[in-house]
Amino acid sequence: MNTCAVLDLGTNIFHLLIAQADASAPLGWTALRRDRVPVHLAEEGIERIGEAAFQRGLEALRRFRQQTIENGIALSDIRAFGTAALRTARNAPDFLRAIEQETGICPEVISGQREAELIFKGVRQAVPLLEDIALIVDIGGGSVEFILTQTGRVHWQQSFPIGTTVLYHRFHKSDPIAPEEIAALEAFLQDTLGELWNALMTAPTHAIVGAAGAFDTLNEMLHPSGVSSAFYSCITRESFDQLYTRIVPSTLAERSTWPELKPERRQTIVVGMVLIRHLLERTQASRIYTSKFSLKEGAVAEWLERRGVLPAAR
């Protein structure tokens, strides 16, 4: 009863987290195992899962199921969440049926709003800054979730289908990316995120809390030896700007030689950096706080809360 597995079936990466209730741990639970597999469901576009990606996804689920078996996790204690690509792809139902047939796991395809809810539950465990007004941003391959928090509660949240894979296919045509492509991307963000700009007018903030995706890349490139906190770190605007000037003008061949940049992020990191800079300029934030926790950890906390292992609303 006190052990569960969470599978986050993202557009680019599939994640596994196996967790156990632990009253002696700071958060009330500990991670027994973590795993991640790049699957790139949207490598041929987010409207359809290509055959190669389909097979990579199934192989990842077989691998995850074997790990849950090794840890004694029953199927009833596995929670699998499908996000942007599985909300969008025409053949997502075929993929989900294949997963169930081969592993017994029945993924739940969740809405963007539900995804934002779980992200918030994960981030609030990691970052002790949410008593102030803050903008949580989770950049995925297919969607980006924004959660505006105030006094530790959700003031506003929204998911937009503008993940880095989507933006890459739409705007990043040249190598390196051309100035006019950056300008077109920024104009698109300005128009598309109107609801976010309106929300920030009612609850302005200078604090951005980033989770997953491009924010993980920032940490990996700026803190290759680890971060100052077990659960979050801080990146100054100066550090971000220096990294921006290194990444955005670079070619894919150049980025492919950087050992601190994961191979699966070499294509999409440029548009991710443009997105983050746009947010920094709109909020005038001087720092980014990056959370190690996101959807997976939020789902673990929720699972344990529902079983009375953790008190609600930690």
- What is the rounded distance in angstroms from the CA atom of residue 314 to the CA atom of residue 300? 12
304-313 core/surface letters (b: 16 or more CB in 10 A; e: else): bbeeebbeee
Are residues 130 and 90 part of one domain?
no
Are residues 126 and 47 part of one domain?
no
Give the number of domains in the chain: 2
Are residues 268 and 133 part of one domain?
yes
Q: Which domain holds residue 85?
A: 3-110
Are residues 117 and 12 part of one domain?
no
Q: pLDDT tens, position by position, for the chain (314 residues)?
A: 689 999 999 999 999 999 999 989 989 899 999 999 999 999 999 999 999 999 999 999 999 999 999 999 999 999 999 999 999 999 999 999 999 999 999 999 999 999 999 999 999 999 987 778 999 999 999 999 999 998 889 999 999 999 999 999 999 999 999 999 999 999 999 999 999 999 999 999 999 999 988 999 999 999 876 555 679 999 999 999 999 999 999 999 999 999 999 999 999 999 999 999 999 999 999 999 999 999 999 999 998 888 776 666 54
- The amino acid sitting at 22 is D
| Residue 307 within any structural domain of the chain | no
| Residue 249 within any structural domain of the chain | yes
**Helix segments in the chain, DSSP class H:** 51-70, 84-88, 92-103, 112-126, 164-171, 179-192, 194-202, 213-222, 237-247, 252-255, 269-283, 295-306
Domain boundary among 72, 92, 110: 110
| Residue 64 within any structural domain of the chain | yes
Residue 13 · residue 56 · CB < 8 Å: no
| Residue 9 within any structural domain of the chain | yes
Q: How many residues does the structure list for the chain?
A: 314
| Residue 220 within any structural domain of the chain | yes
CATH value at residue 226: 3.30.420.150
Q: Return the half-sphere exposure (C-beta side, CA atoms, 13 A cut-off) of residue 249.
A: 5
